[in-house]
Structure 1
Amino acid sequence: MHITVYGDTLCAQVTATAMAQTGHQVLWCLVEPESREQLAKGRPLFREQGLDLLFADQLESGRLTMDFWEGNPQGLTDAVFLALQPGQHGLAAELTKSLASSTSTGCGVIVNQTTGPVGSAELLRDIAKQIDPRAFLVALPDLIQEGNAFQTFTRPDSILLGCEDGEGEALVRELLRPFNRRKDVIQVMSLREAEFAKLAISGILATRISYMNDMASLSESLGVDIDVVRVAMGADPRIGEAYLYPGCGFGGPGLSSNVLALVDALNERAAEPGLLERVLRTNERQKEVLFRKFWQFHQGSVAGKKVALWGVAFKPGTHRVDNAPALKVIEALWAQGVKVTAHDPRALADLGQWAQGRGELTLCDDPYEAAEGADALMLITEWKPYWSPDWQRLKRVMREPLILDGRNIYEPAFVREQGLVYRGIGR
């Protein structure tokens, strides 16, 4: 089939790559001038493990091509995917109107992957049908997980399909057939239900994370190791193991924006603040937990000291720092006159752009270089290369061998046996 994908998102790149890999002829249309500039400089929009090579392979094969949207439909197509940035509802409406009103182009189905308020897909559907009653639109909420985006798209545990047209459902099922072979994971529902289900999933995941962070804080005052408690909780089949890891908060453009969308909807319809508002407050507070431990260890005398950060991306496997806990930590350290160095396998360029004009930040290509002369090492993002460091080397190069483990990936007793000071989350 001929497929067009609109958008400058990771979801758009993954969708375009996956569809091309399974034999379709795909055109990926970018809409933002910033994307044009970035590609002109030779920088990819997204750098994800596994995705980079697959994307390049599809471009080389000719099944995937790229272009920039100039305001008109891009030619005959069997399906159009709208994978725009959250908040680009006006652009989504403009694209839908343009696609439905074109007489020279065909559009088998419009697939809306753009995250927006509940009811957004219905608005797009109404726009399309007012122009062409034969047009049909489905909602396919973006459920990919950054850091492992291609895998979660092509081997999904669940696919939410908002659909009110049998023909549209059949075509989308055919497009998704290569990713739906182990068992049928497509759940068909209304447009509105699909959008709300996606947001509700994000809400409960965020709630589990913040709940565990509250329990970690309490466990420290009770002399209890939260990791032991976590394993006991996860063994209960009513609870399960997922998203029970306490840490220094969650970030990223997806989970945070989804929870905010739910909070906005609750505030519009409920007189009292909801649970999710408290979840977000807990998360923002948790982003500074490592700074508070650093402050307490040095009894507030931190001006002029140096802190090394290992991991600044909002999660492993991605270069993005959107709403990352590391940003709030850095701002807190800057406010107290602390020197900051940072290492990350992928996110240093994005961090450097964020830091411009904000404060002084030393970016290091080697993690041990970042730790040189540091009064504390903060582990913020649990990249695999950080899991088994050379403890004796760290002890030699650091001025104060204080390890602040924001993801509880180290064994406290072992670290202490190496002659370093260990502080974790709830341990």
Structure 2
Amino acid sequence: MQISVYGDTLCAQVTATALAQTGHSVHWFVMTSADHGRLLNGDPLFSEQGLDRLFSEQFSAGRLLPCLYDVTSVMDCGVMFLALAPNSESLASVILATQLGDSCELVVNQTVGPVGVAERLRSGLRDMGSDAVLVALPDLIQEGNAYLTFTRPESMLLGCEDGEGEVLMRELLRPFNRRKDVVHVMSLREAEFSKLAISGILATRISYMNDMASLSEFLGVDIDVVRVAMGADPRIGESYLYPGCGFGGPGLSSNVLALVDVLHEKAAEPGLLEEVLRTNERQKEVLFRKFWQYYQGNVAGKRVAIWGVAFKPGTPRVENAPALKLIEALWAQGVEVAVHDPKALPDLAVWAQGRKGSLTLCDTPYDAAKEADALMLVTEWKPYWSPDWQRLKGEMRHPLMLDGRNIYDPVFVRAQGLAYQGIGRA
């Protein structure tokens, strides 16, 4: 089938690659000539394990053709996917008005936005006199493991009215829906709201655990023991119970903010979700507060190493990452910052342009630790899990480990001669 995918998002890249891999002819339209040039050179926009190779394979095979929006001639297609940046309703409307061909049977909106966008886009199609059916397939991929969460999903939300488009949509999703039926069919609004509600409950679990971690420090309780006990209760489960130094990224935070905005618009009391966001913003500075208390406020001129600045492992992106607020707090107190991250240093360099503060980007974790008065583990990349502790201790000026993700054993680390503090651990 001829398919067009519009967008320069990770969702667009995953959708285009996955559909091409299953035999469809996919034209992927991106918004800028720079992105188009990268794709024509065989370089994907987003680098994730396995996804780079699959993109290159489909591009080389000719099943995935990069196109430039508003320049490349529109190809006749049977299905159009809109996988634009969040809150791009106006752009989606323009694309439908200018790019939709007579042969298009189905428009699939994957773009995350306020509840009601899909209905408005559908009304726009009807006003144009188009017979194409519009369905909603909200983006549920998890960055860092995006391809697997699309091709082997635990759940897919499909918004379609009166069964319109469901048969064709199920056929498109059939290669990814074989183990069990993971497609949940509902109305357009219900699909959009379900996406936001899922993000809200996940964020709430994280912030709740961070509150419990803060309390456990006062009570002399190890939050990790409590976490395991909570996860063993089948009413609760294990997911998203890890305390840490806050969540970030372009998805979870913006989705919770979208829910809060809707609550404000409807004159409801948004107390819980607003508190979730406030808790998360406070938590982004928890390692700075521990550092400040350890040195009793005498931190000016000291040097801090940070391991990991991406908002989660597996991605090079730093949008809303906890490390950014942490770095700004350190800079405000005259602290020098040295950073290592396996993938995110280029994005961090762009973010740091024009900002005041000492920042050194390091090639190795041990380069970052040289002469450091503290090491802060912020993003739990696998290469950080088992360092050479004696080498690390030798590199640092003062061997203080501040573990923002509780990935280390406190007893073991202290036995190596380092001072250790985690989140909610004695």
So what's the TM-score if we normalise by structure 2?
Answer: 0.97
After the TM superposition, which residues 122-141 of structure 1 pair with which residues of structure 2 at under 5 Å, given as runs? 122-141=119-138
Paired position in structure 1 for 2:213: 216
- SS of the aligned residue for 1:253 comes to coil
Q: Counterparts of 1:154 and 1:43 in 2: how far apart (Å)?
A: 21
Q: What do residues 36-79 of structure 1 show as CA deviations (whole Å, max 9, x unaligned)?
A: 47668986421111111111111111110101111787221111
Which residue identity is paired with 2:322?
P
Paired position in structure 1 for 2:80: 80
Alignment partner of 1:311 is 2:278: no
8 Å contact kept, 1:309–1:370: yes
After the TM superposition, which residues 10-21 of structure 1 pair with which residues of structure 2 at under 5 Å, given as runs? 10-21=10-21
Q: Counterparts of 2:97 and 2:365 in 1: how far apart (Å)?
A: 51
8 Å contact kept, 2:385–2:408: yes
Q: Counterparts of 1:139 and 1:92 in 2: how far apart (Å)?
A: 13
* Length, aligned pairs only: 424
Paired position in structure 2 for 1:152: 149
Which residue identity is paired with 1:63?
R
8 Å contact kept, 1:136–1:165: no
8 Å contact kept, 2:74–2:99: no
8 Å contact kept, 2:105–2:131: no
8 Å contact kept, 1:114–1:142: yes
Q: Counterparts of 1:20 and 1:37 in 2: how far apart (Å)?
A: 20
> Identity over aligned residues, as a percent?
72
After the TM superposition, which residues 194-205 of structure 1 pair with which residues of structure 2 at under 5 Å, given as runs? 194-205=191-202
Paired position in structure 2 for 1:67: 67
8 Å contact kept, 2:304–2:374: yes
Which residue identity is paired with 1:415?
V
- SS of the aligned residue for 2:251 comes to helix
Q: What do residues 300-352 of structure 1 show as CA deviations (whole Å, max 9, x unaligned)?
A: 00011000010100000000000000000000011111000100111011111
Q: What do residues 91-114 of structure 1 show as CA deviations (whole Å, max 9, x unaligned)?
A: 0111122245x4xx4112000000
Which residue identity is paired with 1:346?
K
Alignment partner of 1:183 is 2:180: yes
After the TM superposition, which residues 265-276 of structure 1 pair with which residues of structure 2 at under 5 Å, given as runs? 265-276=262-273
Q: What do residues 163-216 of structure 1 show as CA deviations (whole Å, max 9, x unaligned)?
A: 015341111110100000000100000000000000000000000000000000
Q: Counterparts of 1:273 and 1:158 in 2: how far apart (Å)?
A: 27
Larger CA deviation: 397-406 vs 46-55: 46-55
Q: Counterparts of 1:126 and 1:33 in 2: how far apart (Å)?
A: 31
Q: What do residues 133-174 of structure 1 show as CA deviations (whole Å, max 9, x unaligned)?
A: 522100000000000000000000000000015341111110
Q: How far has the Cα of 1:270 moved from its partner? A: 2.9
After the TM superposition, which residues 349-388 of structure 1 pair with which residues of structure 2 at under 5 Å, given as runs? 349-359=346-356, 360-388=358-386
Q: What do residues 256-290 of structure 1 show as CA deviations (whole Å, max 9, x unaligned)?
A: 11101000001111343321000000000000000
Paired position in structure 1 for 2:28: 28
- SS of the aligned residue for 2:398 comes to coil
- SS of the aligned residue for 2:334 comes to coil
8 Å contact kept, 1:72–1:98: no
Alignment partner of 1:229 is 2:226: yes
- SS of the aligned residue for 2:165 comes to helix
Q: Counterparts of 1:167 and 1:304 in 2: how far apart (Å)?
A: 64
Paired position in structure 2 for 1:93: 93
8 Å contact kept, 1:207–1:279: yes
8 Å contact kept, 1:112–1:137: yes
Q: Counterparts of 2:280 and 2:48 in 1: how far apart (Å)?
A: 25
Q: 2:241 aligns with which of 244, 258, 272?
A: 244
Paired position in structure 1 for 2:163: 166
Paired position in structure 2 for 1:255: 252
- SS of the aligned residue for 1:307 comes to strand
Q: 2:286 aligns with which of 276, 286, 289?
A: 289
8 Å contact kept, 2:40–2:66: no
Paired position in structure 1 for 2:416: 418
Which residue identity is paired with 2:377?
L
Q: Counterparts of 2:112 and 2:421 in 1: how far apart (Å)?
A: 38
Q: How far has the Cα of 1:361 moved from its partner? A: 1.2
So what's the TM-score if we normalise by structure 1?
Answer: 0.97
Paired position in structure 2 for 1:407: 405
- SS of the aligned residue for 2:297 comes to coil
Larger CA deviation: 375-384 vs 38-47: 38-47
Q: 1:323 aligns with which of 320, 323, 346?
A: 320
Structure 2 unaligned residues grouped into runs of 5+: none
Distance 1:263 1:167, change over 3 A: closer
8 Å contact kept, 1:16–1:28: yes
8 Å contact kept, 2:36–2:67: no
Which residue identity is paired with 1:8?
D
Q: Counterparts of 2:15 and 2:387 in 1: how far apart (Å)?
A: 37
Q: What do residues 218-240 of structure 1 show as CA deviations (whole Å, max 9, x unaligned)?
A: 00011000000001101111000
